[in-house]
Amino acid sequence: MSFALVDGNNFYVSCERVFNPQLEGRPVVVLSNNDGCVVARSAEVKALGVKMGVPWFQLKDLAVRHGILALSSNYTLYADMSNRMMGVISRYSPSQEIYSIDECFLGLDGFPADGLAEMGQRIRQQVRQWVGIPVCVGIAPTKTLAKLANHCAKKNQAGTDSVCDLGRLAADDLTALFERIEVGEVWGVGRRLSEQLAGMGITTVRALRDADAALIRREFSVVLERTVQELRGVSCLALEEVAPNKQQIMASRSFGEYVYALTDLEEAVSTYIARAAEKLRRQHSLANAVQVYIRTNPFSEKQPQYQRGITVPLTHATSDTMRLTRAVLWGLKRIYRPGFAYQKAGVMLMDLHGEDQAQGVLFAVSAPARPVLMDVIDRANARWGRGTLKLAAEGVRKPWQMKRERVSPAYTTRWDELPRVN
Amino acid sequence: MSTPDKPTHGGARPGSGRLQREPSKVVRLPVSLVPTMQALIATRDFPGGAMLPHPGASRILRPLLGHKVQAGFPSPADDYVEAWLDLNEHLIEHKDATFFVQATGDSMTGAGIQEGNLLVVDRALEARHGDIVIAVIDGDLTVKRLEKRRGRIRLVAENPAYAPIEFTEGQELTIWGVVTSVIQRIKR
C-alpha cells in the first residue's frame, strides 16, 4: 500500500496571487463571509503570528503596521482553481480521493517504490506551471502517515523541496522524526484529544504510535486505535473515490446587516432553501423534513437575544423547490418574533433518501412534483449563472445579503471579469 | 321535456354511479406494485399485451441522429454521423491549464492583437523564442513577444511606439502562459 497526499499551500491566497502577482511576497489574508475572520493566511502573515480564525477587526493595528492586505473570500474562483488542480493531479494515478477544496489523496499501489518521491516532484512542478498553485506532497504507506508526511514537507522537517516520502526513511530516522512532532499534528487528533492524551503522557507522534493499542481503544475509541495502527504503517483507511451522498444538506449565512422584518427573513430563507434544494437534486435525493432557524447576534450583549428553530415534516418526500419553500416559510412564520435584530438564518434538509426510494402517500393525493421544471431551473442556472431562474419569494434587492467588500473578480468564470493584460 | 308519468326530480341520473360496462373485483397487491397498477389503470384503453415502463426505470442516453426515420429506405448518411464541431476542442489543448484574458492597450497591434480581444492562454506550454506570451512585469500581467537569442532575453512589443524590455543576467522573468489564439469579434 502507498498513498500520496497533495495539498495546496495557503490555497486561497495562492489562487488570488495567480491573477494578481502584486500580492506575491506580501502579507495577505482572506476573510470569511461578511469579512469577519481570517480563513487563509500567506506565509508572511503566519510568520507574524496571526492565527487562523482571528476576527479581522482585532488585526487592524497589526495590519497597518505590516501592510497586511485583506481580501474577501472568492469561492467561485477557488472552486474553479481547485477543479483545475485536481484535474492535473488525477493524471498521476487511476485512483484519487478529493478530500477537500485544496487537498486530495492518490492511491499509488503498484507504483515502483523508489520512484514515488520523484513523481511527487513532477506533480508539484506540473501543478505549479499549469495552474499556478504551489503544493506539497506527502507519501507514505497509510493515509494517516501520508497526511503527516505532507505536514513534514510543508514544515521542511523531512523530505526535500516540499516532497516527503516517509516510506523511504530508515526506521530509526522515522522514530527520531516522530519524536519531534507533537501529537496534535496527527490526522484526527484535535485539541481536546491532544489534552486528554497529554494526561496519559502521550505528547508526541512517537508516543502515540508506540502506545498500547488495546488501551487506546478502551480509553478513547476504535477510531483512535485505527490511527495508532495507521501510524505503525498498517493501512486501515481506504481511498473514498466517490464522495458519499450527504445525509443532510445545510444552507445558512449571516446577514450583511441586521434584519428586522419578516419579509426580509422570508427572502433570505427562500434563497437558502433554493440553493439547498439544488444540491439535493444534484445528488438525486428527496427530503422528508426541513428545518429552519433564525438567531440574533450572540456577541452583541446589549441587544435582546432570541434564537429558535423548527423542524417541518413533509407529508411527501420531495426535492421540489416550491414545496420546500412553502414548508420553510410556514415554519419561519411560527418562530419569527418581531422586535429582534436578526443576524443569521439557515435551513437544513433532513431525513434524505434516494429518488428511487420514494414512498407513496396514504391519506392524501400527492401533489404533482415538477421534475421537468426543476430540471429546467437547474440547467438555466448552471448555464447562465445562479439566480437566473428563481422564485419571486427570494426577492430582488436582497439588502440582507452578505458583505464582501474586498472581493477579487471572478477571473475564470465570468466573461466581463477576465484578467486584463496590457 | 317531461311527461306526466315520469317525475323530473329525484331518482337516478344518467352517467352517475359505477360504470356498468362490466362487473368489478377487489384485488390484493404487494405495495410496490401499486404505482404500476395505477399507471396501468390510468391508461385504460391500453392495447392488449402492451408493456408499461417501470416507474423507477433508469435512463439510457442514445446519440441523436441527424436524420428522420424513413421506413424502407435507411438514410445513406447513417454511417457518416459525426460529432458537432466544438470550438473548445479546436482552441483548447490543455483544459486545466487554459485561461482566457482580455487584451488592453495597443502594444501588440502588429501581431493582430487589438484592444478588447480575447486571448486564449495555455500555461502548459513551455515558452519558446518567438512565442507571444503573458509575462509578469512589476506585478502586472502583460502580453508581448518573447525573444530568446544568444543568451539574450527580451520582451518585444509589436508596435514601434514601445521599446523592448531587456532582461539581463540575474534578472528574473516570470512567464505566466503562452498565447495560443486571439479571438476578435466583428462589430456589427
* Tens-place pLDDT, residues A18-36: 999 999 999 999 998 777 8
Band of pLDDT at residue A269, cut at 50, 70 and 90: very high
Q: Answer yes or no: is pLDDT of A196 > 50.
A: yes
B148 assigned to active site: no
**Nearest C-alpha neighbor of A57 from the set A70, A40, A44, A43:** A70
- Three-class SS state of B99: strand
Q: Do B139 and A422 touch (CB under 8 A)?
A: no
Burial of A84 by CB count in 10 Å (0-12 exposed, 13-18 middle, 19+ buried)? buried
Q: Answer yes or no: is pLDDT of B2 > 50.
A: no
- Cβ pair B41, B35 in contact under 8 A: no
Q: Is residue B70 part of a domain?
A: no
Cα torsion through B147, B148, B152, B154, rounded to 10: 20
Residues 6+ apart with CB under 8 A from A256: A34, A399, A400, A401, A402, A403
Confidence at residue B150, expressed as pLDDT on a 0 to 100 scale: 83
Q: Is residue B112 part of a domain?
A: yes
Mean pLDDT, to the nearest integer, of A202-216? 95
Q: Is residue B48 part of a domain?
A: yes
Q: Is residue B145 part of a domain?
A: yes
Q: Is residue B171 part of a domain?
A: yes
Question: What is the residue range of B40's domain?
Answer: 31-56+95-183
Q: Do A360 and B31 touch (CB under 8 A)?
A: yes
- Assign residue A240 a region (left: φ > 0; alpha: ψ between -120 and 50; beta: otherwise): beta
**Sequence-ordered strand ranges (E) for B12-170:** 98-103, 118-122, 132-137, 140-149, 152-156, 165-167
- Assign residue A176 a region (left: φ > 0; alpha: ψ between -120 and 50; beta: otherwise): alpha
- Asked if the C-beta of B54 comes within 8 angstroms of chain A's C-beta atoms, the answer is no
- Nearest-CA distance A16 → chain B (Å): 13
DSSP element (H, E) containing A296: strand A285-296
| Structural domain count of chain B | 1
User: Which CATH number does the domain housing residue B140 bear?
Assistant: 2.10.109.10
Q: Is residue B12 part of a domain?
A: no
Mutate which of A316, A411, A422 to disrupt the B interface (most B C-beta within 10 Å)?
A422
pLDDT above 70 covers what percent of chain A?
97
Pairing of strands A135-140, A163-165: parallel
Mean pLDDT, to the nearest integer, of A327-347? 93
Task: Kindly calculate the radius of gyration of chain A based on its CA atoms and give it in whole angstroms.
Answer: 24
- Cβ pair A414, B96 in contact under 8 A: no
Q: Which residue of A has its CA nearest to B109?
A: A422
Band of pLDDT at residue B1, cut at 50, 70 and 90: very low
Q: Do B103 and A418 touch (CB under 8 A)?
A: no
- Asked if the C-beta of A88 comes within 8 angstroms of chain B's C-beta atoms, the answer is yes
Read off the pLDDT of residues B3-21 as tens digits, 9 standing for 90 and up.
455 556 666 666 565 555 6
- Three-class SS state of B41: helix
Q: Answer yes or no: is pLDDT of A243 > 80.
A: no
Q: Do B134 and A421 touch (CB under 8 A)?
A: yes
Read off the pLDDT of residues B72-125 as tens digits, 9 standing for 90 and up.
666 767 677 666 788 888 999 999 999 999 999 999 999 999 999 999 999 999
Out of A8-22, A68-82, A185-199, A401-415, which region has the weakest mean confidence (pLDDT)?
Answer: A401-415
Buried b / exposed e across B15-49, counting CB within 10 Å, b at 16+?
Answer: eeeeeeeeeeeeeeeeeeeeeeeeeeeeeeeeeee
Confidence at residue B25, expressed as pLDDT on a 0 to 100 scale: 75
Q: Is residue B35 part of a domain?
A: yes
Q: Answer yes or no: is pLDDT of A162 > 80.
A: yes
Q: Is residue B152 part of a domain?
A: yes
- Asked if the C-beta of B35 comes within 8 angstroms of chain A's C-beta atoms, the answer is yes
The three cell numbers of residue A23 are 500580492
Which residues are paired to B146 by β-bridges? B155
Q: Answer yes or no: is pLDDT of A216 > 90.
A: yes
- Asked if the C-beta of B31 comes within 8 angstroms of chain A's C-beta atoms, the answer is yes
- Note the ipTM here: 0.78
Dihedral over Cα of B137, B140, B141, B144: its sign: negative
Q: Answer yes or no: is pLDDT of A241 > 80.
A: no
- Cβ pair A154, A136 in contact under 8 A: yes
- Asked if the C-beta of B165 comes within 8 angstroms of chain A's C-beta atoms, the answer is no
Mean pLDDT, to the nearest integer, of A87-113? 94
Q: Which residue of A has its CA nearest to B34?
A: A360
B6 assigned to active site: no
Q: Is-above-0.90 flag for pTM? A: no
Print the SS3 string covering A27-52.
CEEEECHHHCEEEEECHHHHHCCCCC
Selected residues 403-422 of chain A with any CB under 8 Å from a CB in chain B: 411-412, 415, 418-422
User: Which position among B24, B107, B148, B187 bears the catalytic label?
Assistant: B107
- Cβ pair A315, A228 in contact under 8 A: no
Q: Do B101 and A22 touch (CB under 8 A)?
A: no
